[in-house]
Amino acid sequence: MSDANRFLMPEAIKRIARLDLRARHVVEGFLSGMHRSPYFGQSVEFLQHREYARGDDIRDVDWKVWAKQDRYYVKQYEEDTNLRCTLLVDVSASMRYGDGHLSKYEYASTLAACLAYLLLRQQDAVGCVSFDETTRMTAPLRTKRNHLDSILKTLDVSRPEHKTDVLGVLRRAAERFPRPGMMVLVSDLLVEREGLMKGLKLLRSRGHDVMVFHVLDDDELDFPFNGPTRFEGLELPEHLACNPRALREGYLAALNEYLSEVRRGCVGQRVDYVLLRTSQPLDAALAAYLSNRLGVRHRSRGGRR
């Protein structure tokens, strides 16, 4: 019997629970006191007065101001509602790879579980989609703390075993979640790059704040192999027997070009991009990123110092 709770690491939760995950871009639906919406409405937080104009609701008139100034003013409020975040987690066959403590699948799922815990703690709405060449499981957007169980079950697939169709999945996510919010993609991105960029561009065009966590194993980043080795495809029925030392230089050059292209594409779409090694302590990597993201947001609001 599977144990979905394995994705929740107490050490990681303890570290990240103090952080506030906040959207960089102004999107619909922000939590009162933490997330701001550009829309006005009846809310607990007062914004400003303005003079009454024909057509304004008489119920918005501030009668105390009228009594003092004999002029009609209406009260404006900032509408503060919950942030909506959808976690898109790759559970394709290539995510099975891993020779250390965690496979890429386990690492990505643990990362998603930590983010879900943090967001639900803030009373934000969180949903989750696990995918390969199609959607495997979906947990709808919910704000209740016990919704974490549904998200963990969505992540707990029996065995990653199919290819990845990231463009199709991102298109379906854009259709399923049309209101602007936050989209978090967690994947090894071993996909067709043109399709990836089209999908990210589509999400951004719909007004979503998009974050990409690129999860790779140390072996994939460092290519440490020596001696005769047989490489077997995880998503293709192919294998390669070779002397890896003869391939190392070319492999690393191609990898760096690929990583640079993905990073540039994300920057061009104003998508946050983070490369994570499965050997990195997840709590430290996540805490550093969220602290930096929050700091960038504060600097952008405060201007130069």
Which positions ≥6 away from 115 have C-beta within 8 Å?
21, 85, 87, 126, 184, 286
Residue 34 domain-assigned (yes or no): no
- CA–CA gap between residue 231 and residue 70 (Å, rounded): 82
- pLDDT of 299 reads 43
- pLDDT of 65 reads 83
* Structure tokens, 200: 């990210």
Query: What is the residue-level pLDDT of the chain in tens, covering all 305 positions?
Result: 456 666 666 666 554 444 334 323 222 232 333 344 444 444 445 556 777 766 566 777 888 888 888 888 877 654 444 689 999 999 998 898 887 667 899 889 888 888 888 888 778 899 999 999 889 899 999 988 889 888 988 888 756 677 888 999 999 999 998 888 999 999 999 898 999 999 999 999 999 999 999 999 998 898 777 866 666 555 555 666 666 777 888 888 999 999 999 999 999 999 999 999 999 888 777 777 776 665 544 444 444 43
Please tell me whether residues 96 and 178 are part of one structural domain: yes
Please tell me whether residues 185 and 168 are part of one structural domain: yes
Give the domain range for residue 62: 46-77
Residue 33 domain-assigned (yes or no): no
CA dihedral 137, 211, 181, 43 (to 10 degrees): 130
Residue 36 domain-assigned (yes or no): no
Please tell me whether residues 131 and 91 are part of one structural domain: yes
- pLDDT of 253 reads 93
Q: Phi and psi (nearest 5°) for 216?
A: -135, 150
Return the half-sphere exposure (C-beta side, CA atoms, 13 A cut-off) of residue 45: 15
Query: pTM value?
Result: 0.73
Residue 164 domain-assigned (yes or no): yes
Total domain count, the chain: 2
CA R_g for the chain: 23
- pLDDT of 91 reads 92
Q: What is the CATH number of the domain that holds 93?
A: 3.40.50.410
Residue 102 domain-assigned (yes or no): yes
Residue 39 domain-assigned (yes or no): no
Strand pairing partners for 89? 130, 186
- pLDDT of 35 reads 44
Please tell me whether residues 127 and 164 are part of one structural domain: yes
First to last CA, the chain: 55
Strand pairing partners for 75? 49
Please tell me whether residues 106 and 215 are part of one structural domain: yes
Residue 30 domain-assigned (yes or no): no
Please tell me whether residues 62 and 188 are part of one structural domain: no
Residue 40 domain-assigned (yes or no): no
Which positions ≥6 away from 237 have C-beta within 8 Å?
none
